[in-house]
Amino acid sequence: MGHGGDVIAELTTDHEEVKEMFGQIEALPVGDPQRKHYADKVTIELVRHSVAEEAYLYPAVREHVRDGDMIADRELEDHAEAERTMKDLERCEADDPEFDRLITRLMTEIRSHIEDEEDNLFPRLRQSCSEDALNSLGEKVRTAKKTAPTRPHPAAPDTPPANKLLAPGMGLVDRMRDALTGRGKDD
């Protein structure tokens, strides 16, 4: 899928990619090692996506959208819950009985989060921001995803400025670990 455009188009493309990976996981039999491979790939995408949203989308929501603080706080709570699930999932192999429970929980959490963003947050953001602001946010999100961590770090800060300062360093370490282990790579 193509990335680009304003922040809403960018994040919606991410959502579609995640839903596609969930479908790949669901199509495989329980215990299949490929389920772990796809779980790692979806975790990488979700962490990068979340870090970018926390650095740029939610501050913009706080600034531009009516009741933005309440909305951003709820979204951050969703992220924290999903990140804890991903951290637990990271420790499991596909044949571990916990794997199935955790991947099902993650898919439920993320599908609900996607639906809420696309049905509620994104329309409100589009109403309250100019096209230029949305395009600028899209660029910032794409840039942030390039240096973002690829593994869940539940104890890491999720609001600026600390998250913007720490994420690139954690991302570098994560990408080095991924390169050494082959995590997230297609065979």
186 assigned to some structural domain: no
- The span from the CA of 172 to the CA of 39, in Å, is 21
The residue length of the chain stands at: 187
- Asked if residue 150 lies in contact with residue 44, where contact means CB atoms within 8 angstroms, the answer is yes
Q: What is the CATH number of the domain that holds 42?
A: 1.20.120
Q: Confirm whether 187 is domain-assigned.
A: no
Residue 100 lies in a domain: yes
Range of the domain at 147: 7-181
**∠ at Cα 186 (36, 87), nearest 5°?**
35
Q: What is the pLDDT of residues 1-41, one digit of tens each?
A: 457 789 999 999 999 999 999 999 999 999 999 999 999 99
pTM, to two decimals = 0.91
| Peptide bond between residue 161 and the one before it cis (omega within 30 degrees of 0) | yes
Per-residue model confidence as pLDDT tens digits over 49-79: 999 999 999 999 999 999 999 999 999 999 9
Judge whether 2 lies within some domain: no
pLDDT digits (tens, 9 = 90+) for 89-131: 999 999 999 999 999 999 999 999 999 999 999 999 999 999 9
